[in-house]
Amino acid sequence: MPRDLILGTAGHIDHGKTSLVKALTGTDCDRLPDEKRRGITIDIGFAQLDLGEFRLGVVDVPGHERFVKNMLAGATGIDVALLVVAADDSVMPQTREHLEILKLLGVRQGVIALTKADLVDDTTREVVALEIRETVADSFLRDASIVAVSVLTGLGIDTLKAELALAAARVPHREADASADPFRLAIDRAFVIQGHGTVVTGSVASGVSRVGDELDWHKEDGTVETIRVRSLTNHGVPVEEVHRGQRAGVNLAGVPHDSVRRGQELCTQGFLAPSRVLTVHLSASRELGRAIKHRLPIRLHVGTAEVLGTVSLLDCDHVEPGEWSLAQLFLEAAVTTVWGQAFVLRDSSAEHTLGGGRVLQAVATKIRRRHTETLERVEQLQSESLEARVKAAAWFAEFAGFTPGDLGRAAGVSPSEAGELLAILRATGKVVELALPGRAVLLDAERNAELEGRILDVLALMHAENSLATTHDRAKVLARLEYVGDEALLQAVTDRLIRGKRLTGDSRRVARADFKPKLSVNQRKLKDKIVEAHTVAGFAPPEPKDFVNLAAGNAGALGDIFAVAVAEGLLVKIADFYLSVEAEAEMRRRVTEHLRGSAGATVAEIRDLLGTTRKFAIPICEYLDRTGVTQRAGDLRVLAATV
């Protein structure tokens, strides 16, 4: 199986890029009528170059300065660059600008073609070659071969192919199993094929997609839809699957073609997430010589997307040419990116390339400028160490937590690396795994500690407010937390505190493990018996002194025991006796119902209504007056005005 890679052209207008691609592949990439008429390339074109061991998907880009935006859409994700310089024109502005863009996009391999060699003599060729060497001295092309070619005479074409194969061989393989990577394709074209519907094309940036797959389709308004891959092509040939390094045509089932555009992306479900704010490492281009100021309006090119926005420099006021800064980009439309993804910034009027850099947070919220603690975490996201990056990404995930699948996007960790790394982080206590219903969520250990602290603090407060209650209602504890987030996560943190023996309790009630309850175990057993006796006795309850014998050695604690039963909402104090909480509620219900629409009731009538004795009826009536259920009217009780 030949290895698939993407080859992209670059270079000034009219320097012979399209002609050279035709000489290499036989394909004329200028397919638009306007391109034919004007003799220039306007939008990107595609061809395929078979080099035996390698199969290169060729993206031919326009050189015109007005179409740099299209060049950028084509240059995204190329593995090998073919920089074209005409021997009769030498290095020109877009030679430099395209080279700079390739550098910013992180292209590592390439070959230089000195085109139209038939038009100049040997001396001119040598002079131009020297100029080229000088231009690329500070770039990935510093040691690249310069091959003199002519499409008229055929000079150098075979040599160029051989050099391209050598450059392709130097493109590093993904170490781990690349087919486990999430699929990702930035859309660069969308059109309709009669009888087939909407087709989009793009270079596969990672992973594999097969016919029948369901993918996420991300749109610039930040929405995402699930689509089904109806069929696939590679350079027009139907295929069952497409993989990284290939050009792909994806036929989307049931998608209207006018809603599909360049800049949108297809990916494995759940892999990408849209954001209008990115945190980035931003460099101002040295070669193109312009400072980037705080709040500068910019045009972001990332993937095949082009979005207007504003720069916020996080630790300085301007970035001079050749320097870098941490920054945030605030965008007018959503983009889908991943950690480490390269981008290019141009000025808002699309005349100059200003610089570019790498995404550090693909989904970000506003970071306060010069906020040292946060900036230190952002710096960690630039670390070479996977562990440091995951740690920082986990911290930024705040209380929402994260899953292993999020780490590709957030920290540049592939699925094959994630498992082992997370095992280490869990074992060393840097990350905590929480079991939520139906899913596991990982939480940064510091964030987890913060939540635990808040839960323990609230409970400490509740214990102090009510030192008699042995436990507190779990829902009430959580309701008092200053926490906006996933309720299920809080429950999981609470469960973990119980498992870790820092809380006691169950799914309903909790207490701090270090809280000393007022009652001993025996006293609590006695309390249960007292409550039980009150429940059975209804409206004619026993009195505390009736329990002195039963209490024996605990007789002195009877006052506390009753107080705890009241604090726990089990008994209600009426006078020198108590009712069970159920009897008290039933009593209020019966009296209210009886008095409603009646002229009033005497104590004797209320006594009979409750089936109790005068000894209890009088204090009960006074309790009802006191608590605002009834009021006196001579000898009668009537409903209180407020009832």
Q: Please state the closest distance from residue 191 (CB atom) to ligand GTP, in A.
A: 21
Q: Is 505 in the site for ligand GTP (CB under 6 A)?
A: no
Q: Please state the closest distance from residue 108 (CB atom) to ligand GTP, in A.
A: 23
The residues, ordered by sequence, that sit 6+ positions from 487 with a Cβ below 8 Å of its Cβ are 478
Query: Nearest to ligand GTP by Cβ — which residue?
Result: 63
Helices 372-380 and 386-396: angle between axes, nearest 10 degrees: 140
Q: Please state the closest distance from residue 328 (CB atom) to ligand GTP, in A.
A: 35
Binding positions for ligand GTP, 116-145, rule CB under 6 A: 116, 118-119
15's contact among ligand GTP, Mg ion, none, with CB below 5 to 8 A by partner kind, is ligand GTP
Binding positions for ligand GTP, 16-75, rule CB under 6 A: 16-19, 40-41, 62-64
Q: Is 82 in the site for ligand GTP (CB under 6 A)?
A: no
The three-state DSSP-derived secondary structure of 501-555 is: CCEEECCCEEEECCCCCCCCHHHHHHHHHHHHHHHHHCCCCCCHHHHHHHHHHHH
- State whether residue 94 is helix, strand or coil: helix
Whole-number Cα distances in Å, 401 to 259, 420, 431, 492: 33, 19, 10, 12
Number of amino acids touching ligand GTP (CB under 6 A): 20
Interior/surface letters 1-39, b for 16+ CB within 10 angstroms, e for the rest: eeebbbbbbbbbbbbbbbbbbbbbbebebbeeeebeeee
Question: In which residue are the tokens 């007005």 written?
Answer: 66
**Are 243 and 4 within 8 A, CB to CB?**
yes
Contact mark string toward Mg ion, 21..60, x via CB under 5 A: --------------------x-------------------
Q: Is 17 in the site for Mg ion (CB under 5 A)?
A: yes
Q: Please state the closest distance from residue 246 (CB atom) to ligand GTP, in A.
A: 23
Question: For residue 11, what are its two tokens?
Answer: 């270079």
Contact mark string toward ligand GTP, 431..460, x via CB under 6 A: ------------------------------
Q: Please state the closest distance from residue 61 (CB atom) to ligand GTP, in A.
A: 7
Contact mark string toward ligand GTP, 183..212, x via CB under 6 A: ------------------------------
Binding positions for ligand GTP, 547-586, rule CB under 6 A: none
- Binding test (CB under 6 A) with ligand GTP, winner from 2, 93, 106, 152: 152
**Are 362 and 409 within 8 A, CB to CB?**
yes
Give the C-alpha separation, 480 to 241, whole Å. Answer: 53
Question: For residue 621, what are its two tokens?
Answer: 């009536």
Q: Which of 505, 484, 408, 497 is nearest to 448 (CA)?
A: 497
**Are 277 and 329 within 8 A, CB to CB?**
yes
Q: Please state the closest distance from residue 116 (CB atom) to ligand GTP, in A.
A: 4
Q: Is 18 in the site for Mg ion (CB under 5 A)?
A: yes
Q: Please state the closest distance from residue 161 (CB atom) to ligand GTP, in A.
A: 16
Contact mark string toward Mg ion, 558..597, x via CB under 5 A: ----------------------------------------
Give the C-alpha separation, 4 to 22, whole Å. Answer: 19
Q: Determine phi and psi for 282, rounding to 5 degrees.
A: -115, 125
Q: Is 98 in the site for Mg ion (CB under 5 A)?
A: no
Binding site for ligand GTP (CB under 6 A): 11, 13-19, 40-41, 62-64, 115-116, 118-119, 150-152
Instruction: Give the footprint of Mg ion on this chain (CB under 5 A).
Output: 17-18, 41
